[in-house]
Structure 1
Amino acid sequence: MDNRQFNLTTDPWIKVITVNDNQEQMVSLIDLFTHAQDYRQLAGDMRSQNLAILRLLLAILTTVYSRFDATGEAYSWLKTSGASPQDLEVDDDEFTKDDSTEDLLETWQQLNQAGHFTQSVIRYLEFFADRFDFFGARPFYQVTTADYDALVPKNKAIAAGKGKVAVKQLNRRISESNHTPAIFAPKTGAAKNDISLDELIRWIITYQNFTGVTDKTKIVTEESFSNAAGWLYRLNPVFAQGETLFTTLMLNLVLSDSRNDYACPKPVWEYATVSDYIAERKREILPDNLPEIYTAWSRILHIEWDENQRPTIFSAGIPMFSSDSAFIEPMTTWRFDKKTNAYRPAVKGLRSLGIAMWRNFGAYINVHRADDRQEPELVVWLRTLKEQNLLAHNHPLVLNSVALISDGNATSQAPAVEVGDDMQMQADVLFDSERRDYWPARIEEAIDFTQTVGDDYYHFAKDIAQIRNVDGRLFAGQMSAKFYERLNTPFKMWLEGLTSQDDRDEKIMAWKTQLKMLTVAAIDEELQASSPRDMRGVSGKTGPLNIFTAKSHLMYNLRLHLDL
């Protein structure tokens, strides 16, 4: 029997960067919430791991501050439902949507002004400390042998030795199955299965969020189901990045849902038993509260330890609720599916790797304020903070995106690449109150003509491909990707420099001028690399086609579409 002890509330396992000296430090949950203002950011093994842990931290904060205000008192519209101070439910005689929203926003404001979290979070973690014990009677984010065997088919019980997932597969920096070796991994050979305890905890949390579908073991249910990918793996994540870990947590602490009434928080560890949680999951009903979404399991995991303290991990799939129109989830962009007449998370794929966030600006901001465009609830929340004067007008808002993208194989969905991006704007720009010269609409206008110029450059690249007798789509696609890489930083800096006091036309013209310069520089770079064949050219559909006539066509389109 394993007699080790490790409690996530008091033992260090979360990697952070300190504000004072930019050094990496390992902290416990209580340390993190006590000193969040002293840490710059999470510093885990991958950005997607940081996002998974951020959501776990937000689940704790949302649970606490959905029950208790900044003074530690339970809200007046809640009533005790049990012996525990955490046993609270809505008092129908006292509850109103307006009152609850006002109280929750006031709590957020007081926390933000104080610059630190309150003792309510520490008391909560101390109360539920046994649920955060990694080796306890109910081990954190795991199930016991008895629970596992009771949920899976008899021939898949622990003693049968089936349904194992290797550490090297759990580790999303490797993601190696026993059949397909990961060649470009940070570890080699047997070392791929070596892992420290703090690292294992971080990867288990990450794996629950970013699970592929290679495993075949499933729990027993009356109706058959397919093993689903992890919830976060099925989103196009977006979150706000602050200057410190405290401000990052506060900006993402969505206490009031614009679409739904208040719902009592129910993170996975607050279910009385694992069986209760699995019974709820078998219903495949979308949770009505954020902590339950943030801590949703995709698998039941059981860990056996050998005499050398090495883990053997058993995994079994559980039913997952649908993501269609799951607007309770705040951290994703949406796309409308005409076939199902529902909104679905706009998941990134390998084909969209090179498309920066700013090019999909309209997916993050409802530019034209139309009802048929769903903004991420996180953006709605940030707008609420701005409208309630809880954010300064010139507060820099950084929208960040981190996506772990699968290989596109329906039978594996193994991680292929991780991409991250961001865009920064002042709150007054992002949530402009001007009606006649609305900044988001002008930004969308700038993006539209920028992408038109991008199309013009793509056609220039296809002309060059024709001259050189190479694959037009491949060559033009590569040149187009390089062109947008050239634009990404300047456009993001242009966005960052906008203010609500700006003359919109002047700022748009400034970007047009810079865009023309960047395009001409890209053309000249291609001209410098030209060969005699490029200059000699070929016979095109409308006459001679060489690098000079191709440039002439592009320059004509540039003048036409930029209207300088």
Structure 2
Amino acid sequence: MQTQTFNLTTEPWIKVIRRDGNQPETVSLIELFEHAQDYRQLAGDMRTQDLAIFRLLLAILTTVYSRYNVEGDRYDWIATDPAAQRNVDVDPEEAENQLLDTWSQLYENGQFSTVVTDYLKQQADKFDLFGEHPFYQVTANDYDALVAKSKRVALGKGTVALKQLNRRVSESNNTPALFAPKADETKNQLSLDELARWLITYQNYAGTTDKTKVETTDKFSSSSGWLYKLNAVYVDSTQSLFEMLMLNLVLVSKEVPVAPQHPVWEYDDIQTYVAERENQKLPNNLAELYTTWARILHVEWSDQGEPTIFSAGVPMFAADNAHIEPMTTWKRDKKTEIDSPATRYNVTTAMWRNFGSYVGLSTVDGSKNAPGIVKWLDLLTERGLIADNQPLALATVTFISGGAPANLPVAEYHDDMQLMADVLFDQQWQTRIEGVVQKTQTIGRDFYGFAASVATIRGIEPRPYAGQLSDQFYSQLNEPFKAWLASLQGAKQGRLERIEAWQDTLHRMALDAANMVMQTSSPRDVKGITGEHGVDNIFTATSRYQWKIKKDLKEG
């Protein structure tokens, strides 16, 4: 009989870094919420793992503080049983005011109240890796009841290796990960705290390698994890984990109605959860969205304590117009005018180059929807709950997919940008910053054209050569541009002067980039080639480029 226990409420499994140190330490859920103000950040195995766990933490906080105020008193518009799937009739404006009051008091107190740990103690049996309600897993009986007879646990089919669960390895049995951070003999080894972290991560970032699915009335294709679909954006903080959690704790918004929160562990049984998922209905509450499963997982433990993980796909709801999701940018289908989460395909395009999509300006694809998390910050600023001069750092992290059919991650992308609140939500600054971004990218295209001309003169393929130099050029621009963004202040600051200052920097860096290319010139570059307008060499290419950037900087 299984008597082992590893309860996430009391056992250390979340990696954090203290504000007064630099070395990671491991804490339990209760420790984290009791001392969130003392930790600087999460410090797990990957940033994507940190985000998956971060959303779990937010699901707990959203569940608790949408039911109880700071003192632990239940709001009068919550049903007697807070976990019930209904609310008493509620005045939306009154509910919003009470929820914002709770947020404000928490933020002012600088720490979470005991109602969070009370909730975790009440739900402790749902947070154990073992037992009758294994965390983020199902029992063997439940698994067998949900899959085809040919896929039952006893038959040993439909398993996922630990080396695939571990996204630092992401190795299937068919394709070895050549540059994995683990040796072959240890790729399938995980401690219990690692297993807990990777279970959560896999539910958010599952690929599509596993073929077993739960049995449903209608056929469906197994989907990748919900978080894997997003060009995720969240609010970062250099102050404390408490502040970071608070700034991302969306308690009210137009997209998030006052609906009962229903995290996955509060479902009465797994059959009910799967039946809900079979309807493929988008969740109407953040706690459920943040804890969405991509797979039904069962962990079978050997007598030696070695885990075998069985995995079965469950139907996933559509992402079309899923505006309840606050942590994504959006792209719009011009024909249908349907918004869907944007997806990142490369690691070279910096976050600031898509500035408009983060603040809700009209983008190339027509989308005007800012991420919900940015709208939440706007509401907090509008209500005076955060100061106008407070620095706000927007960050993004995501896996880059290797593509169909497996959709295994091939790279992790992370970036951020910081602005003052009164700049981020000033429409004039938004428009002007977007204009600066577009002009900067115009100069980037000018440099690409220059590099392509040089490649032609040198007799080499223009596209890869110009692409490589263009990536280097933008890489050199990233830190200066981010520093310029962070330096901006509100309406009292001269906007034109600050914009001219960046253009001066951009002009200098554009000329410097061309000079670096010229320093590698050869006699062939000087001799040049005969083109449509006569001899074209490194000097004529440089002259055209200098004229072009001077012209483009003056326009607009």
SS in 2 for 1:228: coil
Cα contact 1:210–1:229 (8 A) shared by 2: yes
Cα contact 2:360–2:371 (8 A) shared by 1: no
The CA distance in 2 between the partners of 1:395 and 1:260, in whole Å, is: 25
Deviations 1:85-144 (A, max 9, x none): 65584111xx11111111111111000000000011001000100000111211000000
Residues 368, 207 of structure 1: alpha-carbon distance in 2 compared, 3 angstrom cutoff: closer
> Alignment partner for residue 218 of structure 2, among 212, 217, 223?
223
Question: Structure 2 length as normaliser, TM-score?
Answer: 0.97
> Alignment partner for residue 521 of structure 1, among 512, 518, 535?
512
The CA distance in 2 between the partners of 1:507 and 1:303, in whole Å, is: 57
The CA distance in 2 between the partners of 1:543 and 1:512, in whole Å, is: 33
> Alignment partner for residue 415 of structure 2, among 417, 421, 426?
421
Cα contact 1:368–1:441 (8 A) shared by 2: no
Deviations 1:137-176 (A, max 9, x none): 1100000010000000000000111000000000000000
Letter in 1 for 2:53: I
Cα contact 2:83–2:266 (8 A) shared by 1: no
The CA distance in 2 between the partners of 1:324 and 1:443, in whole Å, is: 29
Shift of 1:190: 2.1
Report whether the alignment pairs 1:288 with 2:245: no
The CA distance in 1 between the partners of 2:528 and 2:291, in whole Å, is: 61
Unaligned 5+ segments in structure 2 are none
Question: Structure 1 length as normaliser, TM-score?
Answer: 0.96
Cα contact 1:78–1:88 (8 A) shared by 2: no
Report whether the alignment pairs 1:259 with 2:259: no
Residue equivalent to 1:487: 477
Residue equivalent to 2:466: 476
Residues 369, 477 of structure 1: alpha-carbon distance in 2 compared, 3 angstrom cutoff: closer
Letter in 2 for 1:64: V
Cα contact 2:212–2:312 (8 A) shared by 1: yes
Report whether the alignment pairs 1:549 with 2:540: yes
The CA distance in 2 between the partners of 1:541 and 1:494, in whole Å, is: 41
SS in 2 for 1:214: coil
* Structure 1 segment 160-559 matched on structure 2, within 5 A: 160-242=155-237, 243-349=239-345, 352-367=346-361, 373-408=368-403, 410-432=404-426, 438-500=428-490, 501-559=492-550
The CA distance in 1 between the partners of 2:173 and 2:414, in whole Å, is: 29
The CA distance in 1 between the partners of 2:213 and 2:256, in whole Å, is: 33
Deviations 1:198-229 (A, max 9, x none): 00110000000000001110010010000000
Residues 544, 335 of structure 1: alpha-carbon distance in 2 compared, 3 angstrom cutoff: same
CA RMSD, aligned part only?
1.4
Letter in 1 for 2:91: T
Residue equivalent to 2:30: 30
Shift of 1:258: 1.9
Residue equivalent to 1:90: 87
Cα contact 2:83–2:261 (8 A) shared by 1: no
Residue equivalent to 1:39: 39
The CA distance in 1 between the partners of 2:363 and 2:343, in whole Å, is: 23
Cα contact 1:453–1:558 (8 A) shared by 2: yes
The CA distance in 1 between the partners of 2:195 and 2:300, in whole Å, is: 13
Shift of 1:339: 4.7
Moved more, 15-24 or 421-430: 15-24
Letter in 2 for 1:248: M
SS in 2 for 1:193: coil
Letter in 2 for 1:548: F
Count of residues paired in the alignment: 552
Residues 391, 294 of structure 1: alpha-carbon distance in 2 compared, 3 angstrom cutoff: same
Shift of 1:369: 11
Deviations 1:446-466 (A, max 9, x none): 111101100100100110110
Identical aligned residues as a percent? 52
Moved more, 336-345 or 214-223: 336-345
The CA distance in 1 between the partners of 2:315 and 2:337, in whole Å, is: 23
Shift of 1:260: 4.2
SS in 2 for 1:79: coil
Residue equivalent to 1:80: 80
